[in-house]
Amino acid sequence: MQREILKLLVDHGGNVDHLGYWKRTTLYYEIENWVNTFQNMAAARSNNPNRVAGHEADFKNHSFNIPFLIQLAANPFNCDGENSGYLTLLRQKWSENYINATGVEKFVENAGR
């Protein structure tokens, strides 16, 4: 994500909660990618240690992008065209136990502070 460009667009009236082609916001995709990368890191640690560093770098990048978007006023509780929050959308893809194991809810809540 080009943070400087996004900030410039938002500073000049761009909508940080704009819905993309699949009716999701950039923040939702960053959160989804954060959870995916969490899963990829765990799998790499068990099956392919050579790939751990790449997944950790991706995870760090998503971990920076989520608070950045929230600071730009992205709304984690309206991530699609139907006012669904990020947790509602994540639950469509993963089990509640897995979502809890990632710590994504606490991370997003703390990102807004």
Per-residue confidence at 110, pLDDT binned at 50, 70, 90? very high
Whether residue 81 is predicted with pLDDT greater than 90 in this model: the reply is no
In angstroms, what CA-CA distances link 54 with 23, 39, 49, 80, 101? 29, 13, 10, 29, 21
In 42-52, which positions are buried (b, 16+ CB within 10 angstroms) versus exposed (e)? eebeeeeeeeb
**Per-residue pLDDT tens for 13-71?**
999 999 999 999 999 999 999 999 999 999 999 999 999 999 999 999 999 999 999 99
